[in-house]
C-alpha cells in the first residue's frame, strides 16, 4: 500500500504542466477539425474547455498522470455520447488517440489529435 501511495504522489508531483492555451487538429472518422483548448491542472485532474470559433465544451473526466493524459469530449450524438481521448504530452505538445463506445458497448478507435502550446 505504501509503495502505491508513493508512486501516486510522485506521478502527481512530476506531472507535465498542461495549464494554458493550446491549438491543434483532430481527425475523427476521416474529418479533420481545428480546435483550441484552455486547460488547467488541479492535482491529478485535468480541467478546461475545447472547441472552435463556433462552439466550446467542457472536458469530461480529465486526468493527468505524469506525462499521460485522458479526457472526454461530449459528442452530441445519442448513439455515442462522448469521445474518449488518451495520450501524452511533453509540456509543449499533446498527442492523443480518440475512441468511443457505441450503443452496443463496443469500443472503437475513431481518430487522432495533436496540439501545440500557444505562447
Quick: pLDDT tens for 1-47.
554 434 444 444 445 789 999 999 999 989 999 999 999 999 999 99
What does the pLDDT look like over 43-89, one tens digit per residue? 999 999 999 989 999 999 999 999 999 999 998 888 888 999 999 99
- Helix or strand holding residue 9 (H, E): helix 2-13
Q: Report whether 21 contacts 118 (CB < 8 A).
A: yes
| Structural domain count of the chain | 1
Quote the strand ranges of 1-119, DSSP E. Answer: 20-28, 31-42, 45-51, 56-58, 60-65, 68-74, 82-89, 93-101, 107-117
CA distance 47 to 57: 11
Query: Domain containing 43: what range?
Result: 2-117
Measured CA angle at 49 (ends 26, 66), to 5 deg: 80
**CATH code of the domain containing 67:** 2.40.128.20
pLDDT recorded at residue 1? 55
Amino acid at each position: 500500500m505504501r509503495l502505491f501511495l508513493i508512486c501516486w504522489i510522485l506521478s502527481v508531483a512530476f506531472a507535465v504542466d498542461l495549464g494554458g492555451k493550446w491549438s491543434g487538429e483532430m481527425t475523427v472518422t476521416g474529418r479533420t477539425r481545428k480546435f483550441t483548448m484552455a486547460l488547467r491542472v488541479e492535482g491529478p485532474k485535468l480541467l478546461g474547455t475545447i472547441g472552435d470559433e463556433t462552439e466550446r465544451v467542457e472536458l469530461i473526466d480529465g486526468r493527468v498522470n505524469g506525462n499521460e493524459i485522458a479526457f472526454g469530449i461530449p459528442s452530441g450524438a445519442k448513439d455515442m455520447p462522448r469521445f474518449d481521448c488518451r495520450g501524452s504530452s511533453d509540456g509543449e505538445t499533446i498527442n492523443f488517440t480518440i475512441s468511443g463506445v457505441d450503443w452496443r458497448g463496443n469500443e472503437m478507435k475513431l481518430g487522432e489529435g495533436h496540439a501545440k502550446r500557444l505562447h
